[in-house]
Amino acid sequence: MKPCKLALEDGTIAVGESVGADGTRTGEVVFNTAMTGYQEVLTDPSYCGQIVTMTAPQIGNYGINRHDVESRRLFLSGFVMRECARRHSNQFASGSLRDYLRENGVVAISGVDTRGITRRLRVSGCLRGSISTEAMDDRELLALARSAPQMTGLDLAGEVMNPEPLTWEDGRAARVEGAGAFHVVALDCGIKQNILRHLVDIGARVTVLPGTTPAQRILAERPDGVLVGNGPGDPAAVTDGIETLRGLIGLTPIFGICLGHQLVALAMGARTYKLKFGHHGANHPVVNHATGRVEITSQNHGFAVERESLAAAGLHATHTNLYDGSLEGFAHDRLPVFAVQYHPEGAPGPNDAVYLFRCFAEMMRSRRPMAQETFRRLAAEEVRQ
């Protein structure tokens, strides 16, 4: 057994077993409360620059498969587990979690008190950390943790977005009625592939462009709508992306998800702020204001949009987080623009939020603002299905 150490900037040192690649990494330490979906977590580009602690006690028991990949490679800085399964069992598995972590260069630790780490993060807020398999004393490791960059002011979207345009054609449905009826430009700031699959499933032809593509280049594609996807880092630092959206607002329907939610808000004059320890998990209750219905959602973000700044930007709240009252969705009063902070494609067991993609399709058809009645009607149809 090769040892591995994790250090937090508050002086905490955890010693466990290395179950990934060799080396030393630094990043912001966060915790994720999902009980399943560790492969989706690992391949989510929004974790760039972060060391992820899983609160579920055993990770890796169903192995790794080629269907649950969300990006072209792994971007996170490290992975922390109470117990990494030594065996996996799943008919679709193509390998073990341990091998996957090694092959993808992820430094990972098993055998540490993840509950204790999570409690520290909940009290102190996100802490910078370092994780290492190399022989160094605790003082060196702590110094590395304390030298890691703060997430506030950090533009990480440019590190994860694919610089090349591409056409996305993979969907879960074999053939969708009216396929190709819409042309959607998806802006990649670290976009998850399942978002693109859902766009195909509503009948869209999807062109993926880097999130910093100039507005005129996007409009030259003659899109029926623009989807702004998720990504890592401080949204206020993604200045090129914000400028792009300012050139698109009012000219095409826009749907923002996660980082896209924050970038659209900033482009329209609202403000963002850093959450104490972020929302990372698959069990966050969100109320839809139009229906009064609670959706169980998948989330991964460390920043949020300031609710009090919406009115001056011509926006109104559509969804609210029931854990802490933070804003989870908004729509514009007069323009075809809406956004949600959570991941409607995440499917954390239920498909509560999938209706939002059909809301986007309806907004592209009508080119009118997103009405509460649309949220109400399509959410109700989702329940009946």
Positions marked catalytic: 258, 343, 345
Is the distance from CB of 53 to CB of 31 less than 8 angstroms?
yes
Is the distance from CB of 363 to CB of 378 less than 8 angstroms?
no
Q: Which amino acid is at 156?
A: L
Largest interatomic CA distance in the chain: 62
Q: What is the CA radius of gyration of the chain?
A: 20
Instruction: Tell me how far apart the alpha carbons of residues 362 and 352 are, in angstroms, rounded to a whole number.
Output: 18
Which string of b and e fits 12-51 if b means at least 16 CB within 10 Å? bebebbbbbbeebbbbbbbbbbbbebbbbbbbbbbbbbbb
Is the distance from CB of 104 to CB of 64 less than 8 angstroms?
no
What are the strands of the beta sheet with 294-305, ordered from one edge? 166-168, 204-210, 182-188, 225-228, 254-257, 337-340, 327-332, 315-321, 272-288, 294-305
- In whole angstroms, what separates CA 2 from the centre of its chain? 32
Instruction: Tell me how far apart the alpha carbons of residues 370 and 380 are, in angstroms, rounded to a whole number.
Output: 16
**Which of the 8 DSSP states describes residue 202?**
T
Q: Is 376 left (phi over 0), alpha (psi -120 to 50) or beta?
A: alpha
Q: Which of 256, 260, 208 is CA-nearest to residue 238?
A: 260
**Which of the 8 DSSP states describes residue 293?**
P
- In whole angstroms, what separates CA 321 from the centre of its chain? 16
